[in-house]
Structure 1
Amino acid sequence: MPSPDPLALDPISDVLVSPGYLAGPGDSHSIFNALDLAPGWTKAVAFGTDTYYTSPCQRVRVANAAESFYGGWTVSYAEDPLGVPDWITTFDRNTPHEIVAAFTKTLVNGLHNNFADYLSGGQHYTGISSASLTARHRWEPVHGSRPFRTVSPDGHAAYQMRVGWLHEYDELLTLEKSTWRMSVGTDPVYAPSWQAFFSRYTPQHLIAASTAAFTDPTPVARALDHIPDRHRSLVSITREATARPNPLATAALARSTQAQAIHAPPRPTAPTTIAMHAGSRRQR
């Protein structure tokens, strides 16, 4: 009988991790691909590691500056392409890629008509807010907190909103003063593993798109050794229901004259739980 210990698996084995906000950043190819394929967007690579995208209207800049303080992705919008940004959103380098991709995909899809399709009366308008999403998934408000915040049922994720007046330029210059923030970790407020910041005028439907991915309880796919060590005791890990085929074995089977006579046993229809609180074989 196979060992239930996930460490008995190859470290690069694909597993499903829940909750997704603790799964680590994962593969960011989906973000790059969406921007690479966006019609009319331009791309520039600087310093060998930093990637910059510009929208056709020149109002949006997307940067993946790997060696910057926060790393990750920064998105800015300026009505005047040469002026001060109207809003800035930053996802640090450890933010799960599903959360970033939800934001950038919605941004790219709606920018051509200034998000009219996502506003009231538009074909993609849902009326769903970040507050309703956290409430739907039973996140609890922390009464009396400043900034106001709601916390996930496990206590390891927080969504907060700063209240009170602050000059808009202050939050553009200092991310920690942003109106909205997502944060995750063993102590998501004071010692977060990752953070995302949204300044006051970031369109609400973009924030809601990221919040939907942030609060989604569906497990996400990761390589086993990409789960952050500090989160191993906080997540549930299950084997993927369908293993990825081995390309060499598939090719050999196709060439075999006996291929038609081979009948593989049926695959399991549901994930098999490996462990709830697993240790790590690598340090990050």
Structure 2
Amino acid sequence: MSSLDPLALDPNADVLVSPGYLAGPGGNRSIFNSLDLAPGWTKAVAFGTDTYYTSPCQRVRVANALESFYGGWTISYAEDPLGVPDWITTFDRNTPHEIVAAFTGTLVEGVHNNFADFLSGGRRYTGISPASLTARHRWEPVNGTRPFRTVSPDGHATYQMSVGWLHEYDELLTPEKSTWRMSAGPDPVYTPSWQAFFSRYTPQHLIAASTAVFTDPTPVPRALDQVPDRHRSLVSVARADAAGPGPRAAAALARSTQAQAIHVPPPLAAPTALATHVGSRRQR
């Protein structure tokens, strides 16, 4: 992809940005669409700004609470709809929407039968782990770190795994203590521009869906003014193809639930053992 001088473009120009994890959050319409169109899901709006979704089985709750501490998307699953969640995932307000949409789209597709299609033996099981995806895109493990992490080739994104014992309820209460974390920015470890947290029992196929987008080098569509100022010197920007749909329209199409279903690469022969996720204690 050819790189352009962002200063030479109209701030409202539609462009393609790489890497996607530095492109900014962009619009979140595709996330709302996948949930709005999900059969049987209910939706409630509170305080005029906060949106909440509940799955037909009442086990999954999805919240987009704009004024909350993280301000992005929180997803929880509880085998007992009135019980303590089995797992919680949090995407903060600055997480690129493509990463969130991959998670929620895959969630909607699988929750009707408790993700059986995506588990071992299911018709959509791939066995892909997040570690196999980071390895495929030549992310480097950082040895001797706690938590353990792998870093993108440009050094501006990281996927990390906490090691050692942690009471499961601690990570349910405090996202920063979650077993798995994605983050990106000029300094993705200590001052990340955005973070996503996955507690220990979050199903592997859901994390892998987000990781596939997180690690994908394919440019993502944005309006130029949606790219954070602190990322302008770190990204490559190209004009959108005038012959095709504009990036705003392309984003809605390319990141739809159907597109996400085929976005994850085929399984590797030997996934990295370190990233084997523990299945839900109630789904094993």
Q: Which residue of 2 aligns with 1:29?
A: 29
Q: Which residue of 2 aligns with 1:268?
A: none
> 2:108 aligns to what SS in structure 1?
helix
Q: Could you tell me how far apart the structure 1 residues matched to 2:33 and 2:195 are?
A: 23
CA 1:49/1:165 → structure 2, altered by over 3 Å: closer, same or farther? same
Q: Could you tell me how far apart the structure 2 residues matched to 1:22 and 1:224 are?
A: 12
- For residue 244 of structure 1, report the CA deviation from its aligned partner: 6.9
> 1:132 aligns to what SS in structure 2?
helix
**1:1-284, aligned counterparts within 5 Å?**
5-242=5-242
- For residue 10 of structure 1, report the CA deviation from its aligned partner: 2.4
Runs of 4+ in 1 over 4 A off after TM superposition: 243-246
Could you tell which deviates more after superposition, 115-124 or 217-226?
115-124
Post-superposition Cα deviations, 1:163-218, rounded to whole Å, max 9, x if no partner, equal 11111000001111000000111110000000000000000000000000000000
Q: Could you tell me how far apart the structure 2 residues matched to 1:44 and 1:216 are?
A: 33
Post-superposition Cα deviations, 1:27-62, rounded to whole Å, max 9, x if no partner, equal 100000000000000000001110000000000000
* Greater Cα radius of gyration, structure 1 or 2: 1
Q: Could you tell me how far apart the structure 1 residues matched to 2:182 and 2:52 are?
A: 24
- For residue 127 of structure 1, report the CA deviation from its aligned partner: 1.0
Q: Could you tell me how far apart the structure 1 residues matched to 2:7 and 2:234 are?
A: 16
Q: Could you tell me how far apart the structure 1 residues matched to 2:31 and 2:164 are?
A: 34
> 2:165 aligns to what SS in structure 1?
coil
Q: Could you tell me how far apart the structure 2 residues matched to 1:245 and 1:184 are?
A: 28
CA 1:187/1:42 → structure 2, altered by over 3 Å: closer, same or farther? same
Q: Could you tell me how far apart the structure 2 residues matched to 1:115 and 1:242 are?
A: 40
Post-superposition Cα deviations, 1:99-131, rounded to whole Å, max 9, x if no partner, equal 000000000000111111111121111111000
CA 1:140/1:13 → structure 2, altered by over 3 Å: closer, same or farther? same
Unmatched tracts of structure 2, length 5 or more: 247-284
Q: Could you tell me how far apart the structure 2 residues matched to 1:38 and 1:174 are?
A: 29
Q: Could you tell me how far apart the structure 2 residues matched to 1:205 and 1:22 are?
A: 24
- For residue 232 of structure 1, report the CA deviation from its aligned partner: 0.4
Q: Which residue of 2 aligns with 1:279?
A: none
Letter of the structure 1 residue corresponding to residue 204 of structure 2: Q
Q: Which residue of 2 aligns with 1:278?
A: none
Letter of the structure 2 residue corresponding to residue 169 of structure 1: Y
Q: Could you tell me how far apart the structure 2 residues matched to 1:43 and 1:13 are?
A: 34
> 1:107 aligns to what SS in structure 2?
helix
- For residue 138 of structure 1, report the CA deviation from its aligned partner: 0.3
Q: Could you tell me how far apart the structure 1 residues matched to 2:231 and 2:10 are?
A: 19
CA 1:51/1:121 → structure 2, altered by over 3 Å: closer, same or farther? same
Letter of the structure 2 residue corresponding to residue 116 of structure 1: A
- Please tell me whether the aligned partners of residues 6 and 232 of structure 2 are also in contact (alpha carbons under 8 angstroms): no
Q: Could you tell me how far apart the structure 2 residues matched to 1:44 and 1:134 are?
A: 37
Letter of the structure 2 residue corresponding to residue 185 of structure 1: G
Q: Could you tell me how far apart the structure 2 residues matched to 1:227 and 1:108 are?
A: 29
* TM-score between both structures, scaled by the size of structure 2: 0.84
* TM-score between both structures, scaled by the size of structure 1: 0.84
> 2:112 aligns to what SS in structure 1?
helix
Unmatched tracts of structure 1, length 5 or more: 247-284
> 1:159 aligns to what SS in structure 2?
strand
- For residue 245 of structure 1, report the CA deviation from its aligned partner: 7.7
Post-superposition Cα deviations, 1:226-267, rounded to whole Å, max 9, x if no partner, equal 000010010000001126789xxxxxxxxxxxxxxxxxxxxx
